[in-house]
Structure 1
Amino acid sequence: MAVKLLLIALLALASSNAILASDPSPLQDFCVADRNSKISVNGFPCKNMDDVKAEDFFFCGLDRPGNTTNNVGSAVTQANVNQIPGLNTLGVSLVRIDYAPNGLNPPHTHPRATEVLAVIEGELYVGFVTSNLNGGGNRLFTKNLRKGDVFVFPQGLIHFQFNTGKTNAIAFAGLSSQNPGVITIANAVFGSRPPISDDVLAKAFQVDKNLVDWLQAQFWTDNNY
């Protein structure tokens, strides 16, 4: 009986250590990113406390519209750890998204963050697609948003926003990562360098290889700044 209790205790301890192996929150007030450090870690190493300044927690420019004169008619102005070093380890970031009439923030994913989007001006048609469902298929959730409306895009799922109004639209979005990452689906599939084999893509999309070759020859806009 004593042996069984000891084994149970050891299993519980091992399980507890596994759960606590990743810190759920920062272990200090802040860890301002030292982008000049040659140390490689998951994120950025901390700047020396004596070198930290108020500017490390500051970013200006989200009052200015992004340049939407591109193929998709949208611009994403990012405010993550790459722009604000003080966000390092804090698990949050922000973007401003501008849309010309008929402008699209193309289908994309954030591999490291959930996104909550608020419409500031204009009208947007937004949506996301679930991962593969049991038995096949992917479910689409969409909503038409107006000024003041909010919509959530779960982490890692493909989502988009489209300006359905006749005027420019503006949205702000918070993301649950200091560095959410973005994978624009069309750019990744047809604009990778070197390109994915047209045999692979033709079979995956069930289309002729000539169409794949044509798509790979296009200019794929990156609307993130």
Structure 2
Amino acid sequence: MLDNARMHAAAPLPMPAAASPWRLCVAPMMDWTDRHCRAFHRVLAPSARLYTEMLHAQALLHGAAERLLMQAPGERPTALQLGGSDPAALAAAARVGEGAGYDEINLNVGCPSERVQAGRFGACLMLEPALVADCVRAMQDAVPVPVPVTVKCRIGVDRQDSEADLDCFVETLLRRTRLRVLIVHARKAWLAGLSPAENRSVPPLDYVRVQRLKQRFPELTIVLNGGLLDVASSRV
């Protein structure tokens, strides 16, 4: 995934027609990737997969869903990123998103902000893999099979950051869901002591760990995220 700031300065990025749908994605970011920003990204990257800001499931179910889900003309393919930890609410929100024409429903299990933690969603859910699996399965059951339900996570959380911990998280999802695409921010998340901005820069990047994860789970499409500022840096 390419970060937004550098996407703004990039030349248009074509892709071969046969490329994976996740070969080039523009990372979701709160307060950035609204429909206006995504329209600009689509001009710069005609074939990239775009992502919404994270939207809490309850905001879609009890808020201005039509406004929140608006897309610019020609914007697709676009993924809707959801936050939450209630399987039933996430399933209902996924159904609403699919009905609005989104091409993918993504569950955020990587945001480390204190506000998000207080709501029991985001990166803190990596400590509850069984609950994440329940959420993913409910979302999958709520939308047609062609619409993929994906997960975005970190390589670890706080002291639970070994490769064995990450494997346990992934194995739980594979055993209990039909997950086929995992987006991995190649940094751990510190749930206390670092701001969201610091959590995108202070914990060191570990692309090699994500590459090893792919070797252990070849059946998964694993999308690398974090620190990929341009096309050249994405060729790791």
Q: Normalising by structure 2, report the TM-score.
A: 0.29
- Higher radius of gyration, 1 or 2: 1
Q: Which has the higher contact order (CA 8 A, sep 6+)?
A: 1
TM-score, with length taken from structure 1: 0.30
Q: Which structure features the higher share of helix residues?
A: 2
Which has the larger share of strand?
1
